[in-house]
Amino acid sequence: MSNLTEVNFDGIVGPSHNYAGLSLGNIASANHKGSASHPRAAALQGLAKMRGNLERFGHQGFLLPLPRPNSALLEELGTGSDLPRPLLAAAWSASSMWTANAATVSPAPDTSDGRCHFTPANLVTMLHRGQEWRDTQAQLKLAFADTDHFAVHDAVPPTFGDEGAANHMRLCESHASEGVEVFVYGKTGGAFPARQHEQASRAVARLHGLAPDKCVFIEQNPDAIAAGAFHNDVVAVANESVIFAHEHAFADRQGAYNAMRAAFPALQVVEVPDSAVSLAEAIRTYLFNAQLVTRASGGMALIVPEECRKSASVWAYCEAMLATNGPIREVIPVDVKQSMANGGGPACLRLRVVCDPSAVDPRFLLTEAKADAIEACIAAHWPEQIDPADLGSDTLAKTIIAARQSLLETLDLQALG
């Protein structure tokens, strides 16, 4: 159990990154429907974020884009000129880049068998996301193949929507100590889908062998879902003993904090009042879709989207928060605009895994030299631009398939071909 540390596995943005407006309830996705996307810029922005974190923390992992266009899905749908565009676009989606939705992860100190457990998210609410989990699972089984340390489950059965780590927070004294796992679910009935079902969260907790008194199940605020917080990580993030959340994140605000405190008495709440940052502005800037990380020098840093610096109310809040000298000591903006335009901020792009890095297949761990090689591959092969009308083109399909193939070769991961 020694050497347990938090490693972030970011999704490398795939060469088919595009804006098809597929996610009902995701305001950025709807607003950018039909816009031209820039896959090369998107992937380079994601890589720059990874490089920054590699330098900051000494560890950084990645997961690879899934095969697109997904010919198996197209076959299942029946190909033909009358195939509706959104169904065609689903098979071209690069949505696996948001690895916060790849799986729920329970680190070894929390589980009954002392292994780190993964349950790939079934993502059943949306077609373009529901096609991900089997390929994601194959990748997790390769990266975390060491069964002395890791267990990779099947997704929980459909009907119970599961969107993975985006609706899961872990409270602990330090990453290597036993934690309390907080599962946040939504209830259906609002204008937008509630993507995380309570029974999916409870199934994951059972599968992972978590102690019932170390689990907390909390309902997301239906008003937050209605305002565009389609995942809890759009309105809250936790790290070690700190939770950073919007006042309207949870259905029963005080009840939620009480339940967390009952299981984890050392909880520190940094709550942003609606009067300082409105729910709409929090969702527009993705203040909470931040990486809340422990600095080597002490205190925590919040890695936020660049959009936060440009918002008067959000930036004023951040400056005021830093002046209080509370647990969060630094705010670091990063440019992930291409991902943001589809509703994916810095936190969506990463899956946190507390593990011993030496137990992970090193092909999934970033080094400076590997970042250079990935960058060269992206620069050479990722399309500069995709217009939604291009989806379905044979020429573009060939470019995308060849680009991914070249990345697999660069990383010696042809096994994922």
Query: How far apart are the C-alpha atoms of 285 and 270, rounded to whole Å?
Result: 18
Alpha carbons within 13 angstroms on the beta-carbon side of residue 318 total 25
Select 109 or 228, whichever has its Cβ closest to ligand SUG: 228
Q: Does 125 bind ligand SUG (CB under 6 A)?
A: no
Query: At closest approach, how far in Å is the CB of 178 from ligand SUG?
Result: 25
Taking the least distance from each CB to ligand SUG, the nearer of 175 and 350 is 350
115 counts as binding ligand SUG under rule CB under 6 A: no
* Structural contact between residues 120 and 136, judged by C-beta atoms closer than 8 angstroms: yes
Size of residue set near ligand SUG by CB under 6 A? 22
Check: CB of residue 316 under 8 Å from CB of residue 68: no
Q: Could you tell me if 242 and 292 are in contact, meaning their C-beta atoms sit under 8 angstroms apart? A: yes
Site string for ligand SUG, 229-248 (x = CB under 6 A): -xx-xx--------------
The answer to whether 194 contacts ligand SUG (rule: CB under 6 A) is no
Q: Is 264 in the site for ligand SUG (CB under 6 A)?
A: no
Strands (E), 59-115: 61-63, 103-106
Q: Which of residues 148-177 bind ligand SUG (CB under 6 A)?
A: 166
* Residue 333 binding ligand SUG, by CB under 6 A: no
User: Binding pattern to ligand SUG, positions 20-49, x when CB under 6 A?
Assistant: xxxx--x--x--------------------
- Is 101 an interacting residue with respect to ligand SUG (CB under 6 A)? yes
DSSP annotation of 309 reads H
Q: Which of 53, 60, 93, 294 binds ligand SUG (CB under 6 A)?
A: 93
Q: Which strands, in side-by-side order, build the sheet including 242-246? A: 236-239, 242-246, 268-272
* Closer CB to ligand SUG, 29 or 291, in the complex: 29
Among candidates 73, 65, 113, 109, which has minimal Cα distance to 90?
73
Subset of residues 267 to 326 that bind ligand SUG, contact rule: CB under 6 A:
none
Smaller CB separation from ligand SUG, 108 or 165:
165
User: Mind telling me the catalytic residues?
Assistant: 163, 231, 348
Choose the binding region for ligand SUG from 113-121, 137-145, 318-326, 339-347 (rule: CB under 6 A).
339-347
At which residue do the structure tokens 């217009």 appear? 387
Nearer to ligand SUG, 10 or 233 (CB): 233
Binding window for ligand SUG (CB under 6 A); candidates: 73-81, 154-162, 205-213, 226-234:
226-234
Of 347-386, binders to ligand SUG (CB under 6 A) are 348
Instruction: Give 22 or 353: the residue with its C-beta nearer to ligand SUG.
Output: 22
Query: Is 100 a binder of ligand SUG (CB under 6 A)?
Result: yes
8 binds ligand SUG per the rule CB under 6 A = no
CB 111 within 8 A of CB 210: yes
Task: Return the number of the residue (25 or 327) whose C-beta is nearest ligand SUG.
Answer: 25
Dist. CA 239–CA 252, nearest whole Å: 21
Vertex 354 angle, CA 172 and 198, to 5°: 70
What is the phi-psi region of residue 71: left when phi exceeds 0, alpha when psi lies from -120 to 50, beta otherwise?
alpha
**Are 112 and 41 in contact, with CB atoms under 8 Å apart?**
no
Q: Which of 218, 158, 161 is nearest to 194 (CA)?
A: 161
If DSSP codes are grouped into helix, strand and coil, which group holds residue 21? coil
What beta strand segments (E) does 174-290 contain? 179-185, 215-219, 236-239, 242-246, 268-272
Residue 342 interacts with ligand SUG (CB under 6 A): yes or no:
yes
98 is an interface residue for ligand SUG by CB under 6 A: yes
Counts of helices then strands in the chain (DSSP H, E)? 15, 15
Question: Which residues of the chain form contacts with ligand SUG (CB under 6 A)?
Answer: 19-23, 26, 29, 93, 95, 98, 100-101, 129, 166, 230-231, 233-234, 342-344, 348
